[in-house]
Amino acid sequence: MPRNALYALIVVVLAVSAAVVSFVEGNWLGVIWILLAGVASNIAWFLLRKEKLAERARQ
């Protein structure tokens, strides 16, 4: 797994947990955390897919 994809997955987990805490406290700022989690998950998916395609090209 590429290091940047791993970092993006860590950001996803942290953003989702921050969103949960925010919503539990009654703060609607959690919507921004959800959006950040969505962007980070797309980045992680893109990097993992890019690595998989590069692996196929090497074979």
pLDDT tens per residue across span 4-59? 999 999 999 999 999 999 999 999 999 999 999 999 999 999 999 999 999 999 98
pLDDT at 2 over 90: no
Asked whether the predicted pLDDT for residue 1 surpasses 90, the reply is no
pLDDT at 53: 96
CA distances from 33 to 1, 6, 47, 53 (A): 25, 18, 21, 30
- The total of structural domains in the chain comes to 1
Q: Which domain holds residue 48?
A: 2-58
Is the pTM above the cut of 0.85? yes
> In sequence order, what are the residues at sequence separation of 6 or more whose Cβ sits closer than 8 angstroms to the Cβ of residue 51?
1, 2, 5
